[in-house]
Chain A
Amino acid sequence: MANLWAFLYQTLTLSVTAAVLLIAKRLFLDKLSPRWQYGVWAVFALRALIPAGLWGRVLVPGGRTLLEAARLAAERGLGSALTAPYAAVEVQAPVPLFPRGLPAPGSVTDALFYLYAAGILALGLWFFLSYLALRRRVSRGKAPAPEAVEQVRAVAARYGLKVPARITVLPGLESAFVCGPLRPVLVLPDRPVDDKVILHELLHLKHGDLWAGVFLCALRCLHWCNPLAWYCCDRIQNDCEALCDQRALERLEGEDRREYGRILLDMADDRYARAPGTTSMANGGKNIKARISSIARFKRYPAGMALASACVAAVLAFTCLGGVSGAASAAVPFAQDRGRLALARAVINRPDTVAGALDTYAKALLCDSPLYYAMVLPEEQRAAAWDAALEPYEDDDLYSSPLRGLGYSWSRPGWNAEWSVMNLLADGAGGYTGTLFFTPLDRDADGARGLVLQEVAVRPDGAFWTVEPLEAPRVEARTDWWLCPSGDMPYTTYTGEAGGLEVEVDFQLRLAVNNLVAVNTSALFGWSSWEDVDHTPKPHAEFDWMRDGVAVRLTDPDSGAAVALDVDVAPMEAGGDPEEALAEADYRFTVAPGTLDEDPIQVSSGVYAGENMTLRAMPEAMAVSFAGWERTYTCIAYPTEVRP
């Protein structure tokens, strides 16, 4: 949690989980045992530890969009030092973090976040000092009488429990309690204590309930300004006591059980002095009344329900921890949408794949949508897109599209064009560069064919990808729209050496996301369906369409003469084993020497489509092999020239 919005996101998610669990516990109050009632709080504890929105899962569909919209409304123009203005709310850890140090607060939200962090420290300190004061008081306690020690030993021996390392007596104490998770001390009042009270406290020790208390203190600190979280912590402590009652009752028989209930009743008027790092059988009148009701139900819980208890808890855990896909609950907005909610949905759906980023950018360009630009442009270029996305939509927005200014267009709506990327090469800094193509296009004046192309850089931005245009879109007139394989379209030449020959491999790769969708005019019959181009970005898509082209040349470096031998080529990682790559590669080509402009059937292995494509960028290297002069030569060819 690096800013106020991240904390709000985390604590609201925890609150929703708390509400679900409280409803479930109310529903199953008289049906599932105290073990379940206490155990199900593990879901709450885990929710508190898991960052909200992890893996894009949310608990309340639409809730994240509202939070983002609220952030947009509050943060625009505030100049917060802790909140990035153009990035979505992200919870990196369930505790406050200050990745940029402690800058001076630039806004009221920064100040509130500092106040929140200070509150954690103050409350944590208060808990710690209270605990220290109690330990000091305990350390000044009297040594117990030998009969008291003997009584504790006897109870422990009777029920197979461990005797605490230290027992002490505090005069004026109302009830026994256990203190200190690391070196537990059993603290007794200076009057006779019933065996059952000692049994209760020893059971707390056995089951490590003191550690649960420590965890609850941490939770109270982290969510100190969330009353529902505090209420749940109180309920957890009481459920812990109720479970301890049940464990004690399971060990007691007949009259002892009734006596146990009477002891609890006697404690109902006692004051509850909550102290961190302790457990006490007397935890306040209201709580004790709830525990007595639980004891009254002890024998009435339906038997044989262990599996049902586990199954119900599992469903609650999957639901509250897994949530639903945030992308599904906050769909990508339409190009014409405007306003804070639409912008919030755009921010939530930032692309997290290279293909998704290119698809989003291509559609931003095609639809001239500031929302789509806001999703994909680098942060420094996002401000203008955000401003435009908050302005009302005007129908002539499309006429200002950068593509229309080129004199080429296609019939409205503008998005009926398809995009693809070629020469998607790693830039050495974790990103890629490539050339985007838009087809088909007709020249407005005479309908002549053309295509638009633009060099772009795709760069990682945390968990997301951005696209930065490296040039303005330019148009190229063509007699056809054939892009691959083609010698006048971008490709990369890889070179290597084997058997004394120079090897050159021209590799061309055209990648795209399949954007065709079937459109039906009738729900009953498919005969009236056709395919249209989906104009909504797919920010999480992978490439699922590919066409390649390979041309190879073998040259004798001394004479400069070409050598005519068939060559095997396969993409591989730099530094890998070429023979292994040729044997195991998903894409392997056997070609005769030539250029990319020769018969497409000779130099291309055709179109690949589907989800299982493994080639998602230009390969780092090519494994090359050819047979000649009674032996086989193998080498690695590395990229040396990017063309044109």
Chain B
Amino acid sequence: MINLHDLSLPVAPHHHVGTEQRVSLTLQRGALCWIVGSSGSGKTALLETLALQRPFKGVFRLFDQDITPRTSSRTLTSLRQRIGFLEENPLFCDTLTVCENIALPLEINGVKRSEYLRETSTILSWFQLDLYADRLPASLPLLVRWQLACTRTLIRRPPLLLIEASPLISLPDFRVRLFSVLNDLAQSGSTILLTTNDDSICSDPPASILHLPSNTPSKRDSERDTLSPNLSAPYSDQRREPRLS
């Protein structure tokens, strides 16, 4: 499903000697995985790379397809349609209502208007966000926008879900509903990768937890990166399927 090898990730200087470190990651179909790390540890860069939204160095295979800088824009577009990526500060089209914004992925996929309106209404009701349906996104608080973007990401039931989930700390009710949906999606074969800087929220779903380094590395770490970059930073694999080296 996802095979990253020797990926060069930019990180904040206080996390690592130099401005990048090497990462390898393997995720199978149906995996549900948390990546925990403090701010600047490279979580967002990793998700953006997986979402095909930033250039990268290394070997990257996604949906059994090699991704290189020469991969055609048509292929990238079709792959992006299979990825749901939720950022911490999600973008909205300010000229469209919340309902139209959430329906965008279905509209892009060619779903009929009546059908995507019904789907949108259902998912908004499930997450108890239907009162915002006719509002413009710009008028809403950031946390509400994040929840709405979350529904937009889920509405297409993508095979790969990438979620920056730090806002969930402040949304306990929404978290319960979201984890219920994520478990269903994982059981139906979707691969789900969530990132957070607080591992207290990772306990609810039965998921693997991978830790990114959170303190300044020793001299030995930096020597190891330089001499043997493929061995990379000291991530820990605590559970089953995913491997992050």
Asked if A and B bind, the verdict is no
Interface of A with B (CB < 8 Å)?
Answer: none
